[in-house]
Structure 1
Amino acid sequence: MARFLKSKKESIGLSPYDLKFLGEQKLEFIRYSLINYNEHRLEEKELAASEEALNYLSNDSVSWLNIDGLHEPEVLNRLSDQFDLEKLIVADVLDTHRRPKVHEYDNCIFISTKMLQFDNDDEEITSENLAFVFNKNVLISFQERVGDVFTPVRERLRKNRKRLRGSKADYLAFVLLDVVIDNYIHIISRLGEKIEELDDELIEQPSSDSLEKINKYKVEISYLRKIIKPCREMIINLCKLDSELVDKQVMMHFHELKHNIDLANEAVDNYREILSDQLNIFHTTVAYKLNDVLKMLTIFSVIFIPITFIAGVYGTNFDHIPELHYKYSYFVMWLVIIAVVVIMIVYFKRKKWL
C-alpha cells in the first residue's frame, strides 16, 4: 500500500457530513479507557462503552477518554451525540488519511495529527492518525490501535505532578502534543544516527549495500517530511487561536511547541541534504576507484606496448636477421625490455602519473 498518498475510490464524492471509515482497520474491537483526575484524586478505568464516561464528567475534575479503534462509524456517531460534538469532527476522525489540522468549534477544539513509531529491525517509520477533542474539563483522544507514546503522561498523572493534575484539559492537550512532537525528534535522531554512520562506510568501502541504505533512508526522510511539515502548519494555526477554552498561560506553552516542531523540521531538512551529499560521495568514490583501476590498466598497457613491439620485431620470420646467431641475443632483448620498462616507470613518476 502507498505510504505517501492513500485514497479509496469510495471516498470520491462523499459529503463532508457522511460518516464513513476511510482507513485500515487495525483492531477487532473498539477499546475505551478513562482517566479522571484532579489535584486530590485519580481514577483509571477500562470502560465497556463510551457512555460510561458520562458518569465521571464534573466541573471539579478532568476526564481523559482514550478510544482505540476507529472502524465503527455508528459508535463514533453515538459518541458525538453523548458529548455534543459536531458531525464534522466525527467525519474528520474517521478519515485517517487527512492532513493534520486544528479547528475551533463553539464548545470544543479539534486537533488531528500523526503519531510515529520506529521499527528498529526494519528501520522503517510507521504512522497512525491521532485526534483530540477537548473543552474545559474533557479531552477525548482517538487512536487507530492500542499502544501509544503517552506512557510518560500517564506516569506524571499517577505521580501527582501538581502542574498537570491542577490544570484543565487544555494543558493536558498541550502535554500530549508535546510528547508527540518530542517523539518526532527522538525518531529523527535515531534515523540520523544511522545516516551519519554511513559516512565512514562510503569513504572506506562503498558498495551496493551502501547505495541501498541511502535510498532506503531517503524514503524514510521524505516520509517524515510529509508528516512533519503539515504538523508544523497545524501548530502555527493552533498558536493563532483566540479561544476561551485555552488559558493564556497554556497558549504560551503552545508557542513552545512551535519551537520544537521547527527543530524537527530543520533536522529533517538537514538529514535530507546529508543523504543527497552522501549519494554524491558514493558516486564520486566509485568513480574515483574506477579511475584508479583504469589508470593502472592503462599504465600496464602502455608499458607492454613497446615490449610487444620488440618481441614482434625480434620474432619476425626472416632468413637473414643480424642477431639471429649471436650468442647473447636473447639476453640483449631482455635487457632492452627491462630498460624500456624502467625508463617508462621513471617517466610516469616524474609526471606524477604514479
Structure 2
Amino acid sequence: MSKIRRIRLKTKKYIPVPGTSPGSIQLYEDALKPQITVYSYNSDEFYSEKINSIDELEIQIEKHKELHRWIEVKGIGDADLLTYIEKKFSINKLVIEDIADCRQRPKLDEYEDYLFVVSRMLYVDEQLEIENEQVSFILFPKLLISFQENYSNNISPVINRLKGGKGNIRSAGSSYLLYALNDLILDNYFTLIYKLGDELETIEELLYRRADKSLMFQTQNIKREMISIRRAAWPERDKINDMIRSDSKLIGKTSRTYLKDTYDHTMQIIDLIENYKDLTTSLIDMNLTLISQRMNEIMKVLTIISSIFIPLTFIAGVYGMNFAIEDPKTGKFLNNNMPELYNENGYLYTMGGMLIIAIAQMIYFWRKGWLNKS
C-alpha cells in the first residue's frame, strides 16, 4: 500500500517585504506563469477558448457578453495580468493582494458589485505528497473569475459537466458554478481523509503483529496532516455558512439551496477529522503500551534467568574459595575448612546439586504462572 508523506507547506516560499503599502502585489519567486481559459455558456451554447495574452483576453471578454462566462486562471506569476483584471473589473487592490498572497484562509468578502471567495484545495499529487493549494474566486452577476496556484486538473469534473450541459450547471447562473467548484474542492477532502484513514487501519493491523517506534512516528505524521486538514476545514465551514446567510443578490436561490448540502459536507469532514485524530492518539498510546509490555516481558525473562543463576553462582563462589582441610606443605589438619574439597566425586555431587536446585526453581516458577506468555 502506498504511503502518504508529510504535507508540503509553502510558507517558506513567500517572504513579504516589510513596509509595503496595502494592496501591493508580491509574487512568489517560483510562481507559475498563467494559463488562461475562457468558458462562455448558457443552456444551449458552450464555447471554450485558450488565451495566450492580455490582448486576447480583452477581445474574449468583449465577446459573448450575453452568455455566462468563466475566466479560469492557472498560475499567478504575472503581475501585469493581475493589474489588468483589477482595473478592467474595478476590483479592490486588497482582493488582488490576497490572490497573490497564497497564504489566505478560506473566507467570503462581500463588495458592492462582486463577491470574493477563497478556498483551500487539498489533494495528493503525483509524488504522493499532500498539496495545499489556494483557489480564489471573484463572482459577478454573469461572470466568475478563478485563480489557482498550480496547473492541477482537480476541477476538470466541473469543466466536463459544463461541456455536457446536464443538470443546473449551465442554467443556474455563475453562482451555481461557484457552488459546484467549492463542492468539488470539499469532495477532495473526503478522498484525502479516507486515504489517511486507510493508512491508520494498516498501522493498526501492524501494531497487533508487532509494535514498533517507526509506526508511532508514522502515526504522528498522519496526526499532523489531520490537524492541517482541520485548519482548512473549519474556515471552509464558516465560509459556506456565510455564503448561505449572505444577503447578496449575486448568490441565486438555487445555489443557496445546494450550498446547504455543501455545508453538511463540511460538518461530515470535520467529524471525520476529529474521529481520525482521536484514533491517531489512541494508536500512539497503544504503541507505547505494547512496546512497554514487550520490554516488561523481556525484563521478566531476564529476571527469571537471573533468579535461577543466583543460587548456582553462590555455590560456585563458595567452593571457588579453595580453603583446604589439610595444609599441603606441612600436612597439618585445618579446622573449619572445606571438608568436601578433596572428596571423591565431589565435582559431580556439586553439579548434580546445582541442577536439582535449578529444576526446583523452574517447577516453582511454572506453578506460579511466571513462565506463561501473557
Scaled by the length of structure 1, the TM-score of the pair is: 0.91
- 1:78 maps to 2:84: yes
What is the RMSD computed on CA atoms of the aligned residues?
2.2
- 1:308 maps to 2:313: yes
Q: Which residue of 2 aligns with 1:92?
A: 98
What aligned pairs does 1:119-134 form with structure 2 within 5 A after superposition?
Answer: 119=125, 121=127, 123-134=128-139
In structure 2, how many angstroms separate the alpha carbons of the residues matched to 1:13 and 1:142? 26
- 1:58 maps to 2:93: no
In structure 2, how many angstroms separate the alpha carbons of the residues matched to 1:119 and 1:269? 24
Q: Which residue of 2 aligns with 1:198?
A: 203
3-state SS of 1:96 partner = coil
Q: Structure 1 residue 294: deviation in Å? A: 0.9
Q: Which residue of 1 aligns with 2:236?
A: 231
Letter in 1 for 2:72: N
Q: Which residue of 2 aligns with 1:144?
A: 149
3-state SS of 1:113 partner = strand
- 1:352 maps to 2:350: no
- Answer whether contact 1:66 1:141 (CA < 8 A) is retained: yes
3-state SS of 1:210 partner = helix
Identical pairs, percent: 28
Q: Which residue of 2 aligns with 1:220?
A: 225
- 1:104 maps to 2:121: no
In structure 2, how many angstroms separate the alpha carbons of the residues matched to 1:312 and 1:119? 69
Q: Which residue of 1 aligns with 2:49?
A: 45
In structure 1, how many angstroms separate the alpha carbons of the residues matched to 2:154 and 2:125? 14
In structure 2, how many angstroms separate the alpha carbons of the residues matched to 1:64 and 1:42? 11
Cα 1:282–1:212 change in 2 (3 A) is same
What aligned pairs does 1:335-346 form with structure 2 within 5 A after superposition?
Answer: 335-346=352-363
Q: Structure 1 residue 325: deviation in Å? A: 4.1
Per-residue CA shift, 1:65-99, capped at 9, x if unaligned?
A: 10122233332121122223233321221221121
- The one of 69, 90, 106 equivalent to 2:75 is 69
Q: Which residue of 1 aligns with 2:277?
A: 272
After TM superposition, the structure 1 stretch with the greater mean CA deviation from structure 2, 172-181 or 257-266, is 257-266
Q: Which has the larger radius of gyration?
A: 2
In structure 1, how many angstroms separate the alpha carbons of the residues matched to 2:223 and 2:369? 40
- The one of 166, 169, 177 equivalent to 1:164 is 169
Letter in 1 for 2:154: V
Cα 1:351–1:24 change in 2 (3 A) is farther
- Answer whether contact 2:200 2:280 (CA < 8 A) is retained: yes
User: Gaps spanning 5+ residues in structure 1: where?
Assistant: none
- Answer whether contact 1:124 1:220 (CA < 8 A) is retained: no
3-state SS of 1:145 partner = coil
Q: Structure 1 residue 300: deviation in Å? A: 0.4
Scaled by the length of structure 2, the TM-score of the pair is: 0.87
In structure 1, how many angstroms separate the alpha carbons of the residues matched to 2:233 and 2:27? 21
User: Gaps spanning 5+ residues in structure 2: where?
Assistant: 1-6, 326-337
